[in-house]
Every structure is written in C-alpha cells, then in structure tokens.
Structure 1
Amino acid sequence: MSSELLEQQLEARDPDVRLMIQVRDDVQGAFEVLVERYQHRLVGILGHLVGRKEEAEDLTQEVFLRIYRARKGYRPRAKFSTWLFTIANNLALNHLRGKGRNPSTTPGGDGSSSQERALAREGTPSAQMRQVELSEVVRDALDILGEDQKMAVLLNKFEDMSYSEIADVMGRSEAAIKSLLARARNHLREQLEPYLKTGQRGA
C-alpha cells in the first residue's frame, strides 16, 4: 500500500488523524481540541507510570509540546493515539531512567483517575470506602510491575488498545506484547486475589 493511500485510509477512519491534520494546517482551535481530548487520559496513564501527579502533568505538557513542534512534518502512519502514546511512553521511560527508576508518591499526587474519584463519591459511605480502598489496592498492584508491563496493561485496559497497537507504541512484536500482558495479568491476579476474596488489604 502506498503511503498516500495509507494516509487517506487513516484520515477516513480516525477522527483524531483528521484533527491532527488540521493542527498541521494551522486550523484555529484544532490544537486546543486535541489537548482537551487527550490531556486527562495522558495524565492518568503517566501518573500510574511515574507515581506523581505533578510529574505526570509536566510530562503531558511535554508530549503536547513535541506534537505541536512536529506538526508540520506530520504524516499519518497509524492511528493518532498510537503516535501520541509512543511519544508519551518514550518520555516516561526516559524520565524514570533519569530518576533511577524510583516512582514516588505524595498525598494528592497518586495519579488517581477522575473516574475513580467519581465512583468513590457514589453510594453509601461503606461503598465509598471500599471503592477508594480497591483503587489503592489496584494502584499498589500495578506498582509491582515493571514499566513495560505496566504500560502494556494501562494501554490495554484504559485505552482499549489491541496487541498490535500496543506493539507499535512500545516498539515490540505482537507476540512479545501478548507474553508481557500474560505475565502482568498473572502478577496482578496474585496481588489482588487475597483482597477480592476477603475485602481486606494484606489479608
């Protein structure tokens, strides 16, 4: 398939590719729409990866800055989200290497998602407590994974990406991603099973 035909197909299928082409062509307001569409999703995933919300927000700004700087050379080769999360993954890994691979957390900077907070506000007080605690248990379980496993799980569960899309983001083969996710799910199951059986942390 020619690159021109691929671009046409991607533009027809992916509204975010069309939006990025508008950014490339300096259509007024297009970049702001793009930021609004992906900002919270990026902060959520990067928050899980780097451990601090403030750092996740800084990295998210850097992702958008790189996209804006690269806009004139943009030629779609895959879904827009694949390109965006490839940039985010590379930035996060470089950031963690620079820190010596030690994600840290601070109060209010745990990378918890707006969906988790919204769920925690619903229902009875005991249901709220259980939801907040379950969110913490899931985050703790994710933290035992290596960066590659964690990124693969986050893209698969939060972004609903296929194995092939995750492989593109992470520069791996599809078979490697399947293996990575299988190991990650086993680790997560081992960590979460005691809590799901008893409802108690560390049981």
Structure 2
Amino acid sequence: MIELNNINFQYDDIPSLVDISLSIEKGESVGLEGDNGSGKSTLIKLLNGLIFASSGTYFFEGKEISKKTMKDELFEKQFHSKIGYVFQNSETQLFCGSVKEEIAFGPRQMGLAEDEIEIRCSDVMKLLGLTAIAERAPYHLSGGEKRKTALACVISMNPDVLIIDEPMNGLDKKSRVVLIDFLKAWKSAGKTLIIATHEQSLLNELVDRIVTITEEHRIG
C-alpha cells in the first residue's frame, strides 16, 4: 500500500531523512520510534503529501506521490480522503466555529449529502465522547478535547490509513482509555494504522511492527 524508496529530505541543506526505504501493507499497524530530531514527524508529513522528497520515490496504492502528481486537484482530493493525519499539535487542525462544524468540514468537502454528514458527525462524537461539547468553540476546549476533536475530524472522513503523531499528548487517563480502545477497533477492522510515539508501552499494545529511525536518519 505504501512504498518508500531511497527517500531523502532536507531543511535548508540540513538532512532530516537520509536514504529511507519502507513498505507498509494494507491493514498493517506500524509504530515509528526514534529520538527527538530523528525525523519521525518529517516522515509523517511526507507520507501525508505535505512535503516532498528531494530524491527518491513514494508510492501510495501504486501511484506516485510527488509535487507533480499532487498538482492534480482531483488526485490530491482522492489521496487525502484515503489517508488521515492527526497532528502532534491538534490546535493547528481546528479552525471552525464549533466541534460539530469541525467534524462536518471534511465530509462536506468530499461532497457528501447532509444526511450522511449528520450521521457521521453523530456517530463519531458518540464514539469519542464529544456529543456534550458539540456546539462548543474549539478554542474553549481543553487539550484532551482538542485532541479528540482533531481525531474525530479525521475519522469522519473514513480514511483507509490513519496516521497519528504522539496520540496521547494532552489526554487524561479516561481519554487515553477511549483512544486506545478506538485504535484497537480500527486495527481489528483491517484498517492501516501508523503511530509515531515515544511511549513504548503504547507501541507494544497496538502495533504489529516497530520501525526505528536511528540517529543517522536511516530506518533500522
């Protein structure tokens, strides 16, 4: 499903990813680990088509993801409907007037009927315990509520791949349990899951395989 071949990326001539090759199969759960600055977040951005390699190739479902291919608006829209990304800092994903509007935004951009959007919003809010704050403005939410809202926005799109950067950031104990249960259900449903985290216990509980990005920025 995902195929990276000899990927290199640099910020202002400073290497961030060096000679990365990685394959992820459909339905696989993969953990990404590595020290701060090892390139985990950079790799996730590249997987989501937010940045592009300076050299090497990235294929998703057999189609190359590059600056050129992502200039096609239809192709880009289809790609982003299949791969969902929850940022490490959830606030950067929230910009609407209420939690419900946030969750409805993606499905509405997909052109879904309003009845279907309403069903998706209701189901996702119930799943993540957000119903009671549906009309609350995102900037009034706690860190954990923002985290769950950002996740709800992504899963309302029903992507094939879910990528989460440090999923437990800002969550209290109850919210952690809710999220872990959800991720287990996602995995059981045969969906692809990619988690970047420093929490070894979380990786041990949720993923089939752990990929380590070493200090030399090579996958080990």
Q: What is the TM-score with the length of structure 1 in the denominator?
A: 0.29
Larger Rg: 1
Give the structure with the larger helix fraction: 1
Higher strand proportion (structure 1 or 2): 2
